[in-house]
Structure 1
Amino acid sequence: MLSVLRIENFALVDRLELSFGIGLNVLTGETGAGKSVILDAIDAVLGGKASSKLVRAGNNKAIIEATFTLSTAVAAWLIEQGIDLIDDNSVIVSREITLSIKNIRSRSRINGILVNRQIIAEMREYLVEITAQGETVQIGQSAQVREWLDAYGDKEIGQQRQTIMDAFKRHQTVSELLEKCRDSAQEKLQKLDLLAHQLQELGGANLYTSDELEQLQQEYQRLNHVEKLQQMSYKVYQALYQDESQTPTATDLLSDSEVDLTNMVDYDSQLQAILDMVCDAQATIKEAARQVNKYGESLEANPQRLKEVESRIRQLKQICRKYGPTLNEAIAYYQSIEVEIDLLNKSEQSIEDLELEERECWQKLTQACQKLTQLRISASNKLESELIGELKRLAMEKVKFHVDIVSTTPTIYGADKITFMFSPNYGEPLKPLSNIASGGEMIRFLLALKACIFEVDRVETMIFDEIDVGVSGMVAQAIAEKLYQISQGCQVLCVTHQPLVAAMADRHFQVSKKVIDKKKGTKENNEKMEERTIVKVTALDTLNKRREELAQLAGGKSAQNAITFADSLLTQAAHYRVQQN
């Protein structure tokens, strides 16, 4: 339950700290006193929409902090989310709403850990349920009616809805795949034709080694320059070994140097190493001359081979342009084509297989929907009986209620359109609730519905915001008793104008507006007094304070009449509580 609420610079609230207790907590005050601001703060701290209007004028930051008692379910959820527990008794949720020149920024924390809006929304489901008068509009919305009925059906319906969700998603996936398969059948054939052509072209090119093109280009240069290579080979041979013009060759010069060094070694043996090097160089030069001569003699023009090489180079370059840019990449692509063709032929299911699977998925989905419909019918029969009983206790003796379930096309939520049918008066036919119920009837219906759902989907705190507007007398008394009954199972916070409801409270808070003087700095750094309006909340913890507030709510011809009436309400409420206990 909500134990402490701290608010700072929120709407008309300057600073406020409230301590709530178990049972029925009631907030009263004149119209416009700011009662709903307290509930707005609870909504905001639990992820409600943030706006600049929520930040008190003249400030740039609003802070709300709510402390809840720690239940077993909440503790387990916090551990699952990786959020440390402060202690065994409480969990603290806070939110800062900060204004800047251009935007608004909001930060939420659980036990001091920064969390996103989704996490806060999940936690809210465990802690608080807020019911406002405007929520009666939702009764006419089929989706909301479905959620209410399914909540009443509890875990079994929830599990079946999950089964339907899985079946619906599977059917949707198979249907989309089937449609895609049908649409792409021609594209697939075209792709296979293209790959077959590419496979034939690359296979016919006889690609083996990635360096073939480089080798062919070297061979082309040799074949295309045979004469020049022969001439240059002969020239090098002459320079190294044998020159017909009697010009000394490299070998001749090295031979002369060898003779001189041999003579020098006779005088200085340390020159032997140099002599050895010259001898080795002479042998190397002779071998080089022999090989270059042999190379030149082996060269011969081969026009036919030159044409073959030119043709092969052109072929390989074309392959590289289409499948490369390198020959190595073209070979890799060639090797991948067969794999891709095999995948196209084998990995995708045939249209016939998919059509069969689609029919099977549809059958499973419709069967799951039929089971959910039966569960909903069973839950609706029970809800009809229980809700009529609750409505009769709310002074609607002649009421008739029926949950109308009509089959529709299966969706992720099942295959039912659900409507609450209602007749408040004897002899009147059942019609959609939203079409015929008055405001007071809507309020009582919603309260009775919450009472029914509460029994199967209990939250820590239920909040009711002015749901008793427009009712009086016996109906108001019935609403007060129902709120008290609900509060015996969980904490209830209620904003009310009804003295009958307020008299039933376990804790009573008076909300009022107050004008205060506040210091404000001037341009000259002086201070002056500024009047500001704040919301003030007073806990009415004595009988006299409660009596006065109830008298104020009730009004009357004289103050004494109102006080007497307030006393009667408190006495009546005390007597009712004793009876319930």
Structure 2
Amino acid sequence: MLLSLDIRDMLIIDRLELAFQPGLNVLTGETGAGKSILLDSLGFVLGWRGRADLVRQGADQGEVVAEFALAPDHPAQAVLAEAGFAQSDTLLLRRINTRDGRKTAWVNDRRASGEVLRALSETLVELHGQQDDRGLLNPRGHRDLLDAYAGVADQIVATRSAWTALRKARKARESEAARLAEVKAEEDFLRHAVAELDALGPEPGEEATLDSRRRLMQAAQKLKGDVARAFVALSDDGAERLLMDATRWLEGAADAVEGRLDAPLEALGRAMDALGDAQNGVEACLDALDINPMELEAVEERLFALRGLARKHSVLADDLGDFAATLRQRLEVLDNGARHMADLAAVEADARASYDAAARDLSAARAGAALRLDADMARELAPLKLDRAVFTTVLSADAPGPDGVDAVTFEVATNPGAPAGPLSRIASGGELSRFLLALKVCLARGASGVTMIFDEIDRGVGGATADAVGRRLRALADGAQVLVVTHSPQVAALGAHHWRVEKRIHNDITLSRVVPLSADDRVQEIARMLSGDTITEAARAAAEDLLQAGT
């Protein structure tokens, strides 16, 4: 419920504080007095997109503060929690607009974005007027309105979940089909490339090994001569014979020199061992350098084949094995594609069946609710002097989607035998306001915590019809809060709380103010609404009769 509205320096309002009450709150005043400014200001603090030039002439910034009372289970509590705000039994919204257009908002004294304000506003306030563009006259919103009336939130959640699963299954099948088509288009290349790579059988590191072996083999002849000469120098005719002779000569003299040759002899022994190792290594190298020209040709052919395939497929030679594995995987996709596609199609079929079942349940619930809504509307239209009109909720097939397979349109026929048509095209201005009011009464049953604002919804009606409109508004406000901006004395007389919006000129500056009316003031205001600027005794008497009848 809206508790208060504090407006400073907005349009032609310098300072205005309003304290609203439960029930039917009525605002009246002459045309141009500033009633729409109140709605503009409220919409501003709620984050609605509206006119830009809101700051009062001569002021640096405008400010609006709105206070709401919240029950623990009010839907706004969930919005606050999602936005990171603590729950509270009161909600204080504050928003300022500077002269250069910058806007800043606070929720319970914490900075907040316009998105948070708009999310809160959806749970706090509903604005309706004769040219209502927030759902009642928009066919695209009729399904949402019917769903709210039907109370099918659980069915909608189930349908949306089934739709998500169906879309996921369909996307998986389509993606796999596209992948298969892509692989199929290059099947010949894949099979030839895999066969070619399998025939070669490349190994990681093989290129470096072959290249080293090739260079060694190419240099073998020159290297072999040098190594052979070194082997001769180390053999029996070279260093080995000399070391053996030296050892024999020293051993013959060792006894005579009393141990002075022991260390040299030991060193010569170690040298003989090392010489043996060197001979073995050089001999092994000679064996390796004993190159077969056919082997060199084979190494070169293998190396060139590796490098040729690497260039052909734009990969490193060491990566040819992994590249071959990747190509094999693509072929496996193709070879196993039929079975995999069948599995994906089965999953999609199951998801479609689940979605169809959920959509059918939702459609059945909507069809039942449509009949109940039509019956409720018939009961509501009679007191509004539209007892001969027929309201019909039409369900038709729509493209499957997250909210089912139904399109919903509200149609009316205003006279017996007249063709039915969309609500916005068939009803006249006065009829339209009553249709909207009746529909709102039906849709609002069971709703709580939302402040409903009706901006001149009684325009174009008068007399007994205006009285009927006022009584439906008062019934709607029973246990709730309704704000009505009206020019109808019949509607104003039925209000539980009454304010007059008026303009005054101070120092050549036009300002608007809102005055709460006492019982005597209400008689005067309603008399003015009946007779104009000149208030007669007859008008006062008529005003008193209206107020008495409204009690």
Instruction: Please tell me the TM-score bracket, short chain as reference.
Output: 0.7 to 0.9
Q: State the partner residue of 2:145.
A: 148
Instruction: Give the whole-Å Cα distance in 2 for the aligned partners of 1:514 and 1:279.
Output: 128
SS at match of 1:135: coil
Instruction: Give the whole-Å Cα distance in 2 for the aligned partners of 1:297 and 1:147.
Output: 93
Conservation of the 8 A alpha-carbon contact between 2:145 and 2:443: yes
Conservation of the 8 A alpha-carbon contact between 1:391 and 1:399: yes
Conservation of the 8 A alpha-carbon contact between 2:490 and 2:546: no
1:462 deviation in Å?
0.6
SS at match of 1:33: coil
The alpha-carbon distance between structure 1 residues 188 and 9, as it changes in their structure 2 partners (threshold 3 A), is farther
Q: State the partner residue of 1:259.
A: none
Of residues 303, 307, 322, the one that matches 1:332 is: 322
Of residues 516, 520, 525, the one that matches 1:540 is: 516
1:205 to 2:200 alignment: yes
SS at match of 1:396: coil
Instruction: Give the whole-Å Cα distance in 2 for the aligned partners of 1:413 and 1:545.
Output: 52
The alpha-carbon distance between structure 1 residues 319 and 65, as it changes in their structure 2 partners (threshold 3 A), is farther
Q: State the partner residue of 1:223.
A: 217
The alpha-carbon distance between structure 1 residues 291 and 325, as it changes in their structure 2 partners (threshold 3 A), is farther
1:68 deviation in Å?
1.0
**Deviation sequence 1:534-553 (CA, Å, 0-9, x none):** 4x332324234333433333
Instruction: Give the whole-Å Cα distance in 2 for the aligned partners of 1:172 and 1:211.
Output: 47
Q: State the partner residue of 2:249.
A: none
Instruction: Give the whole-Å Cα distance in 2 for the aligned partners of 1:316 and 1:26.
Output: 91
Return the TM-score normalized by structure 2.
0.81
The alpha-carbon distance between structure 1 residues 2 and 226, as it changes in their structure 2 partners (threshold 3 A), is same
The alpha-carbon distance between structure 1 residues 480 and 233, as it changes in their structure 2 partners (threshold 3 A), is same
Instruction: Give the whole-Å Cα distance in 2 for the aligned partners of 1:227 and 1:60.
Output: 98
SS at match of 2:536: helix
Q: How does 1:370-519 map to 2 (within 5 A)?
A: 370-426=360-416, 428=418, 430-517=420-507
**Deviation sequence 1:125-148 (CA, Å, 0-9, x none):** 321111122117965643233222
Conservation of the 8 A alpha-carbon contact between 2:28 and 2:35: yes
Conservation of the 8 A alpha-carbon contact between 1:366 and 1:410: no
SS at match of 1:25: strand
The alpha-carbon distance between structure 1 residues 440 and 138, as it changes in their structure 2 partners (threshold 3 A), is farther
The alpha-carbon distance between structure 1 residues 10 and 227, as it changes in their structure 2 partners (threshold 3 A), is farther
Instruction: Give the whole-Å Cα distance in 2 for the aligned partners of 1:301 and 1:99.
Output: 94
The alpha-carbon distance between structure 1 residues 23 and 496, as it changes in their structure 2 partners (threshold 3 A), is same
Instruction: Give the whole-Å Cα distance in 1 for the aligned partners of 2:98 and 2:423.
Output: 42
1:128 to 2:116 alignment: no
1:449 deviation in Å?
0.7
Q: State the partner residue of 2:536.
A: 560
**Deviation sequence 1:427-447 (CA, Å, 0-9, x none):** 545444333311000001101
SS at match of 2:529: helix
Return the TM-score normalized by structure 1.
0.77
Of residues 159, 162, 169, the one that matches 2:157 is: 162
1:109 deviation in Å?
4.0
1:21 aligned partner, one-letter code: Q
SS at match of 2:31: coil
1:146 aligned partner, one-letter code: R
1:507 deviation in Å?
2.5
Q: State the percentage of identical aligned residues.
A: 28
Q: State the partner residue of 2:257.
A: none
The alpha-carbon distance between structure 1 residues 187 and 46, as it changes in their structure 2 partners (threshold 3 A), is same
| Runs of 5+ unmatched residues, structure 2 | 247-262
The alpha-carbon distance between structure 1 residues 391 and 234, as it changes in their structure 2 partners (threshold 3 A), is same
Q: RMSD value over aligned CA atoms?
A: 4.2
Instruction: Give the whole-Å Cα distance in 1 for the aligned partners of 2:323 and 2:487.
Output: 80
**Deviation sequence 1:475-526 (CA, Å, 0-9, x none):** 2211222211111221111211222222322332232344445xxxxxxxxx
Conservation of the 8 A alpha-carbon contact between 1:2 and 1:461: yes
Conservation of the 8 A alpha-carbon contact between 2:377 and 2:439: yes
Q: How does 1:73-84 map to 2 (within 5 A)?
A: 73-74=73-74, 76-78=77-79, 80-81=81-82, 83-84=84-85
Moved more, 547-556 or 461-470: 547-556
Instruction: Give the whole-Å Cα distance in 2 for the aligned partners of 1:160 and 1:360.
Output: 19
Conservation of the 8 A alpha-carbon contact between 2:11 and 2:37: yes
The alpha-carbon distance between structure 1 residues 97 and 302, as it changes in their structure 2 partners (threshold 3 A), is farther
Conservation of the 8 A alpha-carbon contact between 2:393 and 2:408: yes
The alpha-carbon distance between structure 1 residues 395 and 235, as it changes in their structure 2 partners (threshold 3 A), is same
SS at match of 1:21: coil
Q: State the partner residue of 1:264.
A: none
1:117 deviation in Å?
4.8
Instruction: Give the whole-Å Cα distance in 1 for the aligned partners of 2:273 and 2:527.
Output: 127
Instruction: Give the whole-Å Cα distance in 2 for the aligned partners of 1:455 and 1:57.
Output: 43
1:121 deviation in Å?
3.8
1:411 deviation in Å?
4.0
1:575 deviation in Å?
4.7
Q: How does 1:281-300 map to 2 (within 5 A)?
A: 290=279, 293-294=282-283, 297-298=286-287, 299-300=289-290
**Deviation sequence 1:40-95 (CA, Å, 0-9, x none):** 222233231255334445667544332211112236515641634364x2022333
Instruction: Give the whole-Å Cα distance in 2 for the aligned partners of 1:568 and 1:187.
Output: 84
The alpha-carbon distance between structure 1 residues 415 and 79, as it changes in their structure 2 partners (threshold 3 A), is closer
Instruction: Give the whole-Å Cα distance in 2 for the aligned partners of 1:566 and 1:335.
Output: 98
Instruction: Give the whole-Å Cα distance in 1 for the aligned partners of 2:539 and 2:343.
Output: 79
Of residues 301, 304, 309, the one that matches 2:299 is: 309
1:470 deviation in Å?
1.7
Moved more, 123-132 or 501-510: 501-510
1:95 aligned partner, one-letter code: R
1:451 deviation in Å?
0.7
Instruction: Give the whole-Å Cα distance in 1 for the aligned partners of 2:87 and 2:358.
Output: 44
The alpha-carbon distance between structure 1 residues 557 and 491, as it changes in their structure 2 partners (threshold 3 A), is closer
Conservation of the 8 A alpha-carbon contact between 2:22 and 2:479: no
SS at match of 1:441: helix
Instruction: Give the whole-Å Cα distance in 2 for the aligned partners of 1:493 and 1:8.
Output: 21
**Deviation sequence 1:127-184 (CA, Å, 0-9, x none):** 1111122117965643233222222112xx3333333333444444445555555566
